[in-house]
A = this chain, B = another copy of it.
């Protein structure tokens, strides 16, 4: 396990290669979608302590290796941040049927008129609806 992208990611951020970090990054790397803490935890067979999990998420978030998306009712999901970039305009799509959450690669134009004096730094967009699979049914 874990001799691929996970280790390189950790190394490039000067983070130690611990089991929990590698595990989370492996899981997120394999799955193309955002996952909840519990989904990740299960796939790791509950191998790690709750505390370690939270601390690991915190570290990965601080290093912009993953990001955290919160939808509506506290549904929190995590996803790999491809190039550990600090993104300013992120679009997420949340399927109300299958509850899948995917990151939408840009190519969207946006123009939000803010009141005088307001300055935007980041914009977070969550589009809710039905995904391709669920639309076909």
Contacts and interface: CB of A to CB of B under 8 A. Distances in A.
A5 interface: no
Q: A interface, how many residues as a size bin?
A: 35 or more
Contact of A121 (B96, B119, B120): B96
Given A111-B108, A112-B104, A124-B125, A118 B91 contact: no
In the complex, the count of this chain's copies comes to 2
Residue among A112, A113, A123, A130 with max Cβ neighbours from chain B (10 Å): A112
A129 B120 contact: yes
A110 B111 CA distance: 6
Interface of A: 70, 72, 74, 91, 93, 96, 104, 107-133, 135-136
